[in-house]
Structure 1
Amino acid sequence: MDFVSRLPRSRRGHDSIWVIVDRLTKSAHFLRVKTTFGADQLAQLFIKEIVRLHGVPVSIVSDRGSYFTSKYWNSFVTALGMKLNLTTAFHPESDGQSERTIQTLEDMLRACIIEFQGSWDDYLTLIEFAYNNSYQSSIGMTLYESLYGRACRTPLC
């Protein structure tokens, strides 16, 4: 888990993206957040967007950001029975999957803004869909296929 921050504030007031990558399937969720969110709001969003769809993860990897080192977040992780693995300080390669996903996300955001204009917030859901349906040579299939065991039906099929 990591954040893309310092984005232009959207009409909805979002200025960051919380990137959550499944280490097994490499599928990702891109969640709109505000830098003013506290650990309690992130915990609610985690339940709403991750636990609701996938169940409680066994473990999570994150950087040593203040959100994830707070007492609230540690209590939240413990209450759900998850193991929190914090990356080594000043060593972003420790969470290489998230870092690579963020690079791709930033490229996709730039392309959408240049091509279609508007706010990054308007395209984030479609960018997540496109990302999770792109072929990944490292696993030999799309991320959607690795998660659900079948190809995704899209309007282009």
Structure 2
Amino acid sequence: MAPYKVLYGRRCRSPIGWFEVGEAEWIGLYLVHQSMEKVNILQEMLKTSQSREKSYTDVRRRDLEISKRIGNVAYKLELLSELATVHPVFHISMWKKYMSDPSLIKPTENIGITKNLSYEDVPIQILDHQVHMLRTKEVALVKVLWRNQFVEEAT
């Protein structure tokens, strides 16, 4: 069985086989002309679908604020002055798609970041407490709300 038939359950039809039985007897200029017309129709359909797909993706695409490209996969970003101590060059694998949510923006002054870019997490409240029984041990699990975090981010 041909690989195409295994994948799609039907015979692969080449441009020569697009015509009805009996029409293939007209081998010559007419057959070539008709097959070229069908190929042109298919190319137009592909261009239409590609342009439609491009219009959908262009709506969601935004330009990035990149200072310059460094190598094939590294970029230098324009960061805020508050983040001047952060190294501005990032590998492209570290980027993730981000949908803006203004409620998640937190000012850095309130967090208390030190010069070595660390901060002290202070527990505010214990939200939940459970005890899991293993075969011979009891393990206590505590869900803690930390300073500068929302309830959904509690660990």
TM value normalised by structure 1? 0.24
RCO higher in structure (CA 8 A, sep ≥6): 1
Larger proportion of helix: 1
TM value normalised by structure 2? 0.25
Larger gyration radius, structure 1 or structure 2: 2
